[in-house]
Structure 1
C-alpha cells in the first residue's frame, strides 16, 4: 500500500498545442480506491499513463509515499496496470501469463507457484490455468489480466476501463468482484472509467474530469449531493439532474424565482442579498428522486400535468413541464399517475441547488425552509 499525490501535473504534446492535462492536483491515502471519471477525450487515460510512466509529464510532480517518481522508468515505479484490451500473450497459457512478470524479476520458482495459486484462487480461475486466451470468454480474460497485475503485489494498481468490453450483466458482476477484491487486498488503486455508475459504486474518492481539468474531487456522496458546477451535476446521476432556468425578480425586500408548469404558478423565495440580480439567469437543479408527488416530506407543491411515463421496474419516471423545461420525477410504481393526469409536484426546497447559468458554478446557498409549506421558500441566496 502507498499514498499517491499529484502536484500541478501538466501534459502537452507540443508547443502551440493546448495542454491535455492542466494543473492536476490529487491526493489519496494508502489503500484508497480513486476513480477518474469523465467523457471520452477528457484526459483520464492520459493521466493514468502518466502515473504509470508510459507517458512523460511536461510539468509538476507525481509522488508515491512522498518520493517523486515523475522521471522514473515504468519498471522502477512498482505500479501494475490493467489495460482495457487486457493485453494477454496469445501463445501463453493462463498460468504463463500470470507468472510472466514474476519470471522477468527472477522471482524463485517456489514463490511464483505460490503467487499463481493465490491469485487463481482469489479470482476463481484455478480451472483455467492450462488454457490459452483464445479459449476464454471476455470475463475470464479480464480476470487473467487482473491476475497478472495482482501477482506482482505492487504499491499501486491502475485499471484503465477494464470492464468496458464486457456485456451489461457481466459488468455488474465484475464490478462487485472488484470491490470485494479491493476490500480484501486494501491496495491503493486508480481506476479510469466513463461510466458514472462504476464511479459511484467503486470509489472511495472520485475525480470528475473535463477538458484535462479536475472539475471536482471528493467522495461519491459529495460529488452527487454537492456538485461543484453544472457539468458535474449533469454527468453524475442517472437519470440526470433536472435543470430549470429561472430569472429572479424582486418581490418586496427579497428576490424570488417564478416557476410555471402551465397548470400552476409558484414564486420561490431566494432570500435577501445585496447583489443586483436583475437580468441574471440562474439554473434550479433538482434530482429526479427529489421530485415526487406532493405529500409528507415535501415543502414546495406545484400543480402540473403528466406528459410521459416510463416504467423501469423498481421506479416509474414521470415527466412534466416547468418553465418550458421537461422535468423528470422518480416515483414508486404503485404511486405513478396516469398519462395526462393532473398531479402536484412536490419537493423539499432545502435540497434544491442553484447554479449560475453563465459560469456554470454552483451558488452557495443556505437552507431557509419555512414551517408553512405554502410559503415555498427555497433558500437564502448568498452569492458565489
Structure 2
C-alpha cells in the first residue's frame, strides 16, 4: 500500500492552448480507492496517464509515499494500469498474458507459476489459462487484464474506464468484483469513469472534474449531500437533482421561496441568507427522493400539483409535475405513486433544499453554513 499525492499538477500541450489540467491538488491515503469522475473531455484520463507516466506533467509534482515520481519512467513507478481496451496480447494464452510482466522483470519460472496460479484463483479464471483472448467474453477479458495488473503486486493500481465496453448486467457484476477485490487486497487504487453510479458505489473518495479542474473532492456521501456547486449537484445523482427557478422574499430575518404549480402554491423557509440574495437569479435544488406525498393535505410546505408523467422503474416510480414552469421529478415507492392527471400533495423538506446562483453556478449557503465553509477553506489553505 502507498499514499498518492498530487501537488499543483498542470498539463498543457503547447503555448497558446488552454491547460488540460489546472492546479490539481489531491491526496489519498494508503489503501484508499479514489474515483476520478466527470464528463468526456474533462481531463480525467489525462490525469490518469500522468500518474502512470504515460504523459509528462507541465509543472507540479506527483508523489508516492512522499517520493516525487514525476520524472520517472513508467516502468520505474511501480504502478499497474488496466486499460479501457484491456490491451491483451492476442497471440498469447491467458497464462502468458498474466505472466508477461513477470517475465520482463526476470522473475524465476517457479515464482511466475505460483503468482499466475494465485491471481487466477483470486479472479476465478483457472479454467481459462490455456485460451487466447479472442476465445473469451468481454467480462473474461476484463478479468485477464486485471490479473495481469494484480500479478505485479504494485504499490498503486490504475483503472481507466475498465467497464465501459461491457453490457449493463455484466458491468454491475464486475463492479462488485472490483470492490470485493479491493476489500481483499487493500491496495491504493485510482479509477477513472464517466459513470457517476460507479463513482458512488466504488470509491472511498471521489474527485469530480470539469474542464481540467477538480470541482469537489470528498467522500461519495458528502459530495451527494453537500455538492459544492451547480455542476457537481447536477452531475452526481440518478435521477439527477431537480432545479427550479425561484424568487425570494425577505421577511424580518427570514428568507422564503415560493413554489407554484397549476393547482396552488407553498412557501419554503430558507433561513438566514446573506443580504442581497433575494436580488440574484437563483435555482432551488432538491433530490427526487426528498419529495414525498403528504399524509395531511394543506400542511406547511405542502405543494399541490397535478401528475403529468409517471415512469415505473421497478423498485421506484418517478413522478413528474410542473413547478415554477419547470419539471419536478419525485421518486416514490410504487404503492405511493399516483396516476397521470391525478392531484397530489407533495411534502418538500425545507431543511434539505439547496440554493445555487443561476449565473455563476455557485452554492448559496445560509449564514451559519457560509461561515463554517469559510473556516474550512481557511484551514485547508494554511
Q: Taking structure 1 as the reference length, what is the TM-score of the superposition?
A: 0.93
Q: Which residue matches 1:188?
A: 188
Q: Is the Cα contact below 8 Å between 1:102 and 1:112 reproduced in 2? A: yes
Provide the C-alpha distance between the structure 1 equivalents of 2:304 and 2:144, rounded to a whole number of angstroms. 56
Q: Is the Cα contact below 8 Å between 2:138 and 2:166 reproduced in 1? A: yes
Provide the C-alpha distance between the structure 1 equivalents of 2:14 and 2:122, rounded to a whole number of angstroms. 44
Q: Which runs of 5+ in 2 are unaligned?
A: 375-382
Q: Which residue matches 1:37?
A: 37
Q: Which residue matches 1:86?
A: 86
SS of the aligned residue for 2:319 comes to strand
Provide the C-alpha distance between the structure 2 equivalents of 1:199 and 1:214, rounded to a whole number of angstroms. 15
Q: Which residue matches 1:283?
A: 283
Q: Is the Cα contact below 8 Å between 2:273 and 2:365 reproduced in 1? A: no
Give RMSD over aligned pairs. Answer: 1.9
Q: Which residue matches 1:3?
A: 3
Q: Is the Cα contact below 8 Å between 2:274 and 2:366 reproduced in 1? A: no
Q: Taking structure 2 as the reference length, what is the TM-score of the superposition?
A: 0.94
Decide which structure has greater helix share. Answer: 2
Query: Deviations for 1:197-247, whole angstroms, at most 9, x for unmatched residues?
Result: 000000000000000000000000001000001111111100000001112
Provide the C-alpha distance between the structure 1 equivalents of 2:88 and 2:272, rounded to a whole number of angstroms. 62
SS of the aligned residue for 1:271 comes to coil
SS of the aligned residue for 2:60 comes to strand
Q: Is the Cα contact below 8 Å between 1:354 and 1:362 reproduced in 2? A: yes
Structure 1 residue 276, shift from structure 2 partner: 2.1
Provide the C-alpha distance between the structure 2 equivalents of 1:305 and 1:216, rounded to a whole number of angstroms. 36
Q: Is the Cα contact below 8 Å between 1:93 and 1:129 reproduced in 2? A: yes
Q: Which residue matches 1:224?
A: 224
Structure 1 residue 260, shift from structure 2 partner: 0.6
Structure 1 residue 361, shift from structure 2 partner: 1.4
2:324 corresponds to 1:315: no
Provide the C-alpha distance between the structure 2 equivalents of 1:302 and 1:382, rounded to a whole number of angstroms. 32
Shift >6 Å, 4+ stretches: 379-384
Q: Is the Cα contact below 8 Å between 2:273 and 2:367 reproduced in 1? A: no
Cα separation, partners in 2 of 1:357 and 1:383, compared to 1, 3 Å: farther
Provide the C-alpha distance between the structure 1 equivalents of 2:20 and 2:250, rounded to a whole number of angstroms. 44
Q: Which residue matches 1:352?
A: 353
Count of equivalent residues? 372
Q: Which residue matches 1:334?
A: 335
Structure 1 residue 180, shift from structure 2 partner: 0.3
Structure 1 residue 146, shift from structure 2 partner: 0.4
Structure 1 residue 353, shift from structure 2 partner: 0.9
Provide the C-alpha distance between the structure 1 equivalents of 2:274 and 2:43, rounded to a whole number of angstroms. 40
Provide the C-alpha distance between the structure 2 equivalents of 1:51 and 1:381, rounded to a whole number of angstroms. 36
Query: Deviations for 1:266-309, whole angstroms, at most 9, x for unmatched residues?
Result: 2223334561235311111100000110139x962111111111
Q: Which residue matches 1:372?
A: none
Q: Which residue matches 2:377?
A: none
Provide the C-alpha distance between the structure 2 equivalents of 1:336 and 1:270, rounded to a whole number of angstroms. 28
Structure 1 residue 259, shift from structure 2 partner: 1.1
Query: Deviations for 1:325-376, whole angstroms, at most 9, x for unmatched residues?
Result: 1000011101111110110011221111111112211122379xxxxxxxxx
Q: Is the Cα contact below 8 Å between 1:206 and 1:218 reproduced in 2? A: yes
Q: Which residue matches 2:178?
A: 178
Q: Is the Cα contact below 8 Å between 2:269 and 2:350 reproduced in 1? A: no
